[in-house]
Chain A
């Protein structure tokens, strides 16, 4: 099947307006006859469900958590971008569009990205109207901060809890529709299968996690807002329950998976501390506004630190290597995430790592504390303050800016970041890849849409900070509610979709069989045992640096792991009733298949771009070498039975409004 992105013709700035004006409308009377299923209640899901219900559609929303408010969007810390130009620093829709395309290393679709930049402004207006308490300045107007990869301040924030506040805003909009009976909410329900009837997505099989029952739900369209698949690495900043099952089931039923290997490794996470660790915690990128990243310049110092014989505070300024400032003087510590992550890995691989395992670098606030302290001294008009006094004043300022993050760090590591530098290391954070969608956010299965992190469309090979929240809400509030109309307007005569069709029957049967297989498997190893092994393979071979040899090995290893998993996994308890181990087994089974496809995708992409770094394709200085001639396309994979044998379809990317350039932050 040829991929048609359906991006409207015309000037980039007019595409969306024109398209919106031309989408066939569904009359209010007909909207009442149309059912829509929304899977997932994060930013994209909650906002889409609420908006569609407001428009008059019948919406059913599903989430596996005990409440829609708990979706993992809630954990986003830093902020949300919008081209408001409130700071009068030269920001514009075009600049946000340009930054996003460039930050994504020219692997995203121009039309989608420009639309994202356009609606970014509406998001802020909408959220403020909903009562989202963004940070404000003393005049009562909205405050902004700066994020990696850009030179303007366009990030709106609510301390280090922006995702929480935005999600609770969307959740409140959703609640309003639930209260009105316009949305029927199914919490503690997980989608197990997509039902396709006559080539169209017509419903899902959902599992009631509390009772273990399988339920058939039909609809005229299915929206997958199920987030990313970072948990394929086992250790990531994702929530424990985040999974790929919904997207993967759609993939198996005909939806193409696009750019699955584009994974964002976030540079500032708390390093791994032990074998029993279940999750990695992010330290917001906003810390790089004021923190300076360094490692010892001398190897022997790094070794002494690792052995516990030397304290970082005792290393003289001259013996420190602020490697980001050294390598990228223009952007310094605020280079994009992929660049910062690779630079950290490069230093640690070279033997300059600073924790026991040698996989950590310092994020140091000492300079910022002194700088803020001196400002305060000036403001307060103090005479001859001692260093300790300046420090104390500076610490107060840092606390007001990053207090909750510092506290979180101290809780986890038992080390005080005001007194000694933080230790950080890159960790899996976000997946730019996802289900392939056209301009209407529809996958290759008609009637099946993908929103937010679950689709691939806006971030190319690397996402800029504070853009995930923007995309989730853009898709949910302002894009999908309009674009579903194009598909649904042809469906107004279909009537209620029956759930007793052979397609529903077969889908439910498949789910039942899989569940019984796990329960009766009588294996010897826990689900986590396999998940951790998958994670190790993925991190080592499909992580920050990838090679042909390693990827081939990874594919073989994952295939072997999959066989072992099905033969030897042990799931106790029964299928009737709450059984988290059973649910986890289903998720890990899908992650294993996905891992194989990611390795395959990474292997086929013979270039380095954004978060995808192939060791074979780098400059002598270790910078990524992109190959626009041969790889300026989206890889969209069609499932054929074995992930590694998926069929590749290419969507060529054309850049008419930005010039393809080598990304430089030097």
Chain B
């Protein structure tokens, strides 16, 4: 396949960036999108051009490290896939492919296509946990039965990989799908109840502090989410936050 790649190049957080054009030939259908970029980088290195910097690690769609806004969509045209799972057979020879970093004020660019998503970690630190110390004698795992439906829903919410596609896709750069997934996971489990109110208030507060936008329920995040995290989680967060605000003593 012969392709024309238009890639955002930016040397550092403070530098000005621009789209640069790279024609490339010899791309194979079986390559993943990131392998195509490896292939490009190898070529660039041979030509003495600095390779394109992008985040990636597991290359099997679970670590959440790869990002990339491809042809106007987070993780490209596929559904329920990350960029590393996108294969070149989705494109045709002769195509022009735009490759941009995820964009949001809360995701500053580090270099080229690599962005800083530590805002997500800070949201998690604000309450995305159950306060239980390591202990050899917590109660037996089967002491509290959890209805299968709730356990399954908690699992579905917990499959979020924290890649940031929801933020990148949302026209408001909102992180609500991300935050609500973690809040929902614990909200659905009996173990999460004691801290439920504090959790939702604190995590939403941190999300606001990070400078993410608001949810206007366009639903774009759910469509582009590689793990198919449901909008139901956002509703659950909205509900929990409302009740927590009304009933909290603070």
Contacts and interface: CB of A to CB of B under 8 A. Distances in A.
A–B contact, 8 Å CB criterion (strictly below): yes
Interface residues on B, range: 35 or more
Contact of B57 (A185, A240, A528): A240
B31 A142 contact: no
A225 to B, nearest CB: 15
A161 B61 CA distance: 11
Nearest to A238: B58
Interface string A408-450: 1001101000000000000000000000000000000000000
Nearest to A524: B46
A125 B138 contact: yes
Given A141-B145, A279-B60, A122 B191 contact: no
B45 A276 contact: no
A240 B142 contact: no
A411 B60 CA distance: 11
Nearest to A576: B12
B12 A577 contact: yes
B57 A172 contact: no
Give the residue among A136, A185, A274 with the most B Cβ atoms within 10 A. A136
Contacts of B140: 125
A134 B152 CA distance: 9
Interface residues of A, number: 84
A274 B134 contact: no
A262 to B, nearest CB: 23
Contacts of B6: none
Given A122-B136, A131-B189, A210-B110, A67 B158 contact: no
A159 B50 CA distance: 41
B28 interface: yes
Interface string B11-34: 110000000000000001011101
Contacts of B87: 411-412, 414
Contacts of A69: 64, 121, 124, 162
B159 interface: yes
B55 to A, nearest CB: 6
Contact of B139 (A125, A168, A411, A481): A125
Interface string A110-144: 00000000010010111111110111111111100
Contacts of B28: 274, 276
Contacts of B126: 179
Nearest to B82: A411
A130 B189 CA distance: 10
B48 A572 contact: yes
B63 A70 contact: yes
Contact of B124 (A129, A175, A274, A578): A175
B80 A133 contact: no
Given A66-B116, A128-B191, A414-B89, A158 B155 contact: yes
A576 B186 CA distance: 42
A131 B64 contact: no
Given A165-B158, A239-B57, A172 B124 contact: yes
B197 interface: no
B152 to A, nearest CB: 8
A141 B89 CA distance: 43
Contacts of B159: 161, 164
22 contacts: A51-B134, A67-B120, A75-B62, A127-B141, A130-B130, A131-B186, A133-B151, A133-B152, A139-B145, A140-B148, A175-B121, A179-B126, A185-B121, A241-B57, A276-B31, A277-B35, A281-B59, A407-B80, A529-B42, A572-B45, A572-B50, A581-B51
Interface of A: 47, 50-51, 54, 65-72, 74-75, 84, 86, 119, 122, 124-131, 133-142, 158-159, 161, 163-165, 168, 171-173, 175-176, 178-179, 185, 187, 210, 237, 239-241, 273-274, 276-279, 281-282, 407-408, 411-412, 414, 477-478, 481, 526, 528-529, 570, 572-573, 577-581
Given A66-B65, A74-B58, A133-B152, 5 more contacts: A50-B134, A69-B162, A131-B191, A164-B62, A176-B131
